[in-house]
Amino acid sequence: MSTPPYEARTLAAHDPNSGWRVYFNTRMLICVFLGFTSGLPLFTLLNLVQAWLRNGGVDIKTIGLFALLQFPYTWKFVWAPLMDRFVPRFGRWRPGRRRGWILLTQLGVLTLVATMGFVSPTNSIRTVAVLAAALAFASASLDIMLDAYRRELLKDTEQGLGTAIHVNAYKLAALVPGSLSLILADHCAWSTVFAVTAAFMLPGVATALLVSEPQVQSTLPHTLEEAVLMPFREFVARDGAKQALILLAFVFLYKLGDNMATSLATSFYLDIGFTKTEIGLVSKTSSFWASIAGGIFGGMWLMRIGTARGLWTFGIAQIVAVLGFAVLARTGHTLPGLATVISLEAFATGLGTAAFTTYIAGTTDPRYTATQFALFTSLASVPRTFANAGAGYIVSQIGWFDFFLLCAVLAIPGMMLLPRIAPWKPR
C-alpha cells in the first residue's frame, strides 16, 4: 500500500524541538477564534436547546429524536462542491472564496440562534424543529469552510498543533450555551438567553473580516462537474477501493462511543439530580480548565509523537473518559464526582478529536480540500446524528449505567482499525 505524499507528511509530521513560541503567532490565534465560532452553534443545539426543550416539558424520547435534525452535518459533502466552485460577492467587495462563505454562514447562525428565543417549544414544537434544522444547515456549512480554511492556512508541521487549538477552542464554546446560558435561564426570559448566546458569534465575524484569504497552489474548479466528481475519483483511485472503504469505516467508528456518550449529557445530569446552575457552574467550569490543558498538552504531544501515535494514545483516553460517566451514574449526585468526570471527558475527548481531525486533514488532496474534508467529517457525524437519535430509547430501556458501558464497547471497533490506518510503527 502506497501512501500519498501529503498524507504521509501529516501522519509523520512532528517537531520534537519546538518550544512555546509556536503558540504565539497569528495563525494559532486565528484557530482560537474560528474554532470557537465553529463550536458555538453545535453546542447550542446539543446543550441549550436540549435544556430548553426539557424545561418546556418535552419528553426525553422526543429530545433524542431531535438529533435527527443534525442531518446536515451528515450530508454536508453534497453541497461542499458548490462552496468550492462559487465565490460569494458583497456588491463590489469580494472577500474571497473561503472568507466570503465564512461570513455568510456566521451571520446565518447568529440570526437563527437569536430567533429561537421567541418561539415556545411547548406550543410550537414544529417551528422549533424547523429553526433547529436551519441552524444545523448553517453550522454544517460554516464547518465546511472553516475546515478548508484551516487546512490551507497551516503548514504541515503546524497541522497537529493548530487542529488541537481549534478543537479545544471548539470545546470551550460549550461554556456559553452549556454554562452561561443555563445560568441566565434561571433568571432571565429565554428570548434574552438566546440573544446573549447569539452575540458570542460576533468575535468570529470580526475575525473573518480581519484575516486574509489563504494563498494555496490549487486552482478554483473550472466547472461544477469538476468540483463534484474529481474529489471522489481521486480518493478512490489513491490506494484502491478496499483501502478507501477501510478508511471510511475508521472515520465512522473512531468517535462513535464518545459521541454517543455525550449526546444526552445535559439530560443525564438533570436526571441524577443536578440543577441547571450546578451544571453551569461545576461541570462546565471544570471542562474549561480541562480543555485548556488538553489544548496545550495535546498540541505538544501531537508535535512530538505524530498523528498516528496520537490516534492510539488519545483513543484509549476517550474510552476511559466514557467509563467515567458510568461511574458517575453509580455514585449519583456528587459535585466533586461531576467535576472530575467532566474534566476527564473534556481533556480526553478533546485530545482524541484533535488527533482525529488532524488525520482527516492529512487525507485530503490540496486540490479538493473543502469537498474531501466535508466528506470525511460528514461520515464522522453519522453516529452523532443517527445513533444518538436512538440514545433516548436505549437509556429508557437499560438505564444510564449500562448505556455508558455500551458506549465504551462501541469505541473499540474503531481502535481495531488503527493497524491498517495509522500503524504505531509506520511501514
Tens digits of residue pLDDT in 352-371: 877 888 888 888 877 778 88
Q: Is the pLDDT of residue 119 over 70?
A: yes
Find the mean pLDDT for residues 15-20: 52
Q: Per the domain annotation, does 111 fall within a domain?
A: yes
Q: Per the domain annotation, does 69 fall within a domain?
A: yes
263-281 confidence digits (pLDDT tens): 788 789 888 888 878 887 7
Tally the domains of the chain. 1
CB 366 within 8 A of CB 217: yes
Count of CA atoms in the C-beta half-sphere (13 A) of 268: 29
Q: Is the pLDDT of residue 110 over 90?
A: yes
pTM of the full structure: 0.72
Q: How far is CA 199 from the centre of its chain?
A: 20
Beta bridge partners of 90: 93
CATH code of 98's domain: 1.20.1250.20
Hey, is 420 helix, strand or coil? helix
pLDDT at 204: 93
Q: Per the domain annotation, does 426 fall within a domain?
A: no
Q: Per the domain annotation, does 317 fall within a domain?
A: yes
Q: Name residue 278's amino acid.
A: E
Q: Per the domain annotation, does 218 fall within a domain?
A: yes
Q: Is the pLDDT of residue 60 over 90?
A: no
CB 132 within 8 A of CB 66: yes
Q: Name residue 206's amino acid.
A: A
Find the mean pLDDT for residues 132-150: 92
Q: Is the pLDDT of residue 190 over 90?
A: no
Q: Per the domain annotation, does 249 fall within a domain?
A: yes
Q: Per the domain annotation, does 187 fall within a domain?
A: yes
Sign of CA pseudo-dihedral 351, 74, 383, 111:
positive
**Model confidence band, residue 20 (pLDDT cutoffs 50, 70, 90):** low
Hey, is 93 helix, strand or coil? strand
Find the mean pLDDT for residues 135-145: 93
Question: Which grid cell sits at 106?
Answer: 456566521
Look up the domain containing 68 and give its range. 5-421
